[in-house]
């Protein structure tokens, strides 16, 4: 029926059928939430396409033809900014992403994260069975901690200039860092995108997030929110830094709080100990 949305299974089968006899397509796998069996009615459909040629213009054209069979393409991001990724949205708002890889680039994939649709060369059987346990990236965490403190320190500038809208944007950055830290704390496998947050963090973590004040472009509210996020993030980050053997940017944090005390008369909202939660 015209205007009726096609089901995910039908779309997947249609794409598989469109590519099954194309000799340049050596394999096609479901990845993401469909590859791991964690998909729901709102999931996008992630694919990995394997071609000896890699992500060439011709392979991209073949993929576009397959997607066009499922509906009118209204958004097409072709290999930008990632040179092997194509994002598409059709008129019924079905979202498909594909990574186009050469066979030699499949070594980072694992069987438990993929579902084979086409596999002419038996690639799936050569892959490791499961992803190794996720390990936090110490350098990434160090950079995020420093940037959190940097953004926090800019609060005095936002207040001084009355840049309350920019202050609200700063709060969103602090929130993103807090969410990323919470996900690291749970060490959840098959993380997928941020739109799967409900299954990546615990109920106590959700309670912390929902209790934080809303960002409002007004001076007192902006200061309150920055301090609340600092109290939620910094003790957690200290604990993880200690677990990973990272040196805490003690001097940077100390002078930042001193600056905020002098300019805004605010105090550090937590006790900086290794056991603070």
Contacts of 99 (CB under 8 A, 6+ apart): 31, 46, 47, 48, 49, 84, 85
Per-residue pLDDT, 277: 39
Domains along the sequence of the chain with CATH: 8-126 (3.30.460.10), 138-264 (1.20.120)
Do the beta carbons of residue 98 and residue 53 sit within 8 Å? no
Q: Mean pLDDT throughout 6-22?
A: 96
How confident is the model over 207-250, as pLDDT tens digits?
Answer: 999 999 999 999 999 999 999 999 999 999 999 999 999 999 99
* Collapsed DSSP state (helix, strand, coil) of residue 53: coil
Does residue 190 register a pLDDT over 60?
no
* Collapsed DSSP state (helix, strand, coil) of residue 101: strand
Contacts of 120 (CB under 8 A, 6+ apart): 26, 27
Per-residue pLDDT, 70: 97
Provide the token pair at 153: 């320190």
Per-residue pLDDT, 131: 66
Per-residue pLDDT, 133: 64
How confident is the model over 110-123, as pLDDT tens digits?
Answer: 999 999 999 999 99
Local confidence band at 38 (pLDDT 50, 70, 90 cut-offs)? confident
Do the beta carbons of residue 99 and residue 29 sit within 8 Å? no
Q: Mean pLDDT throughout 5-23?
A: 95
Local confidence band at 203 (pLDDT 50, 70, 90 cut-offs)? very high
* Summary mean pLDDT of the chain: 92
Spatial distance between the Cα atoms of 49 and 46, rounded to a whole number of angstroms: 10
Per-residue pLDDT, 188: 67
pTM of this structure: 0.75
Per-residue pLDDT, 39: 86
Local confidence band at 1 (pLDDT 50, 70, 90 cut-offs)? very low
Spatial distance between the Cα atoms of 155 and 148, rounded to a whole number of angstroms: 11
Q: Where are the alpha helices (DSSP H) in 188-244?
A: 203-211, 219-244
For 94-242, strand residue ranges (E) read 95-101, 115-119
Q: Give the rounded percent of residues in the chain with a pLDDT score beyond 90.
A: 81
Per-residue pLDDT, 274: 56
Sheet containing 85-90: give its strands across.
Answer: 73-78, 85-90, 95-101, 45-50, 27-31, 115-119
Per-residue pLDDT, 37: 87
How confident is the model over 135-177, as pLDDT tens digits?
Answer: 778 999 999 999 999 999 999 999 999 999 999 999 999 999 9
Local confidence band at 130 (pLDDT 50, 70, 90 cut-offs)? confident
DSSP assignment letter at 246: P
Local confidence band at 72 (pLDDT 50, 70, 90 cut-offs)? very high
Does residue 128 register a pLDDT over 80?
yes
Local confidence band at 2 (pLDDT 50, 70, 90 cut-offs)? very low
């Amino acid at each position: 029926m015209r205007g009726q949305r096609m089901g995910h299974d039908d779309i997947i089968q249609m794409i598989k059928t469109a590519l099954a006899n194309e000799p340049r397509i050596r394999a096609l796998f479901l990845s993401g939430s469909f590859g791991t069996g964690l998909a729901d009615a709102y999931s996008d459909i992630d694919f990995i396409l394997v071609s000896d040629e890699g992500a060439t213009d011709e392979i991209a054209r073949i993929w576009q033809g397959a997607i066009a069979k499922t509906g009118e393409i209204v958004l097409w991001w072709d290999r930008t900014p990632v040179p092997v990724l194509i994002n598409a949205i059709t008129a019924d708002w079905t979202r498909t992403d594909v990574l186009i890889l050469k066979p030699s680039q499949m070594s980072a994939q694992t069987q438990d994260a993929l579902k084979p649709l086409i596999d002419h060369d038996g690639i799936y059987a050569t892959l490791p069975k499961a992803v190794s346990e996720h390990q936090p990236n110490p350098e990434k965490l160090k950079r995020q901690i420093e940037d959190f403190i940097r953004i926090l320190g800019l609060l005095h500038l936002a207040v001084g200039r009355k840049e309350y809208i920019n202050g609200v944007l700063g709060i969103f950055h602090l929130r993103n860092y807090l969410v990323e830290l919470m996900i690291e704390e749970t060490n959840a496998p098959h993380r997928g995108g941020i739109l799967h947050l409900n299954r990546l963090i615990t109920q106590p973590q959700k309670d912390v997030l929902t209790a934080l004040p809303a960002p409002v472009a007004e001076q007192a509210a902006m200061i309150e929110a920055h301090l609340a996020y600092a109290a939620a993030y910094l003790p957690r980050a200290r604990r993880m830094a200690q677990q990973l053997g990272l040196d805490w940017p003690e001097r940077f944090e100390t002078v930042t709080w001193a600056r905020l005390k002098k300019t805004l008369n605010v105090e550090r909202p937590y006790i900086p100990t290794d056991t603070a939660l």
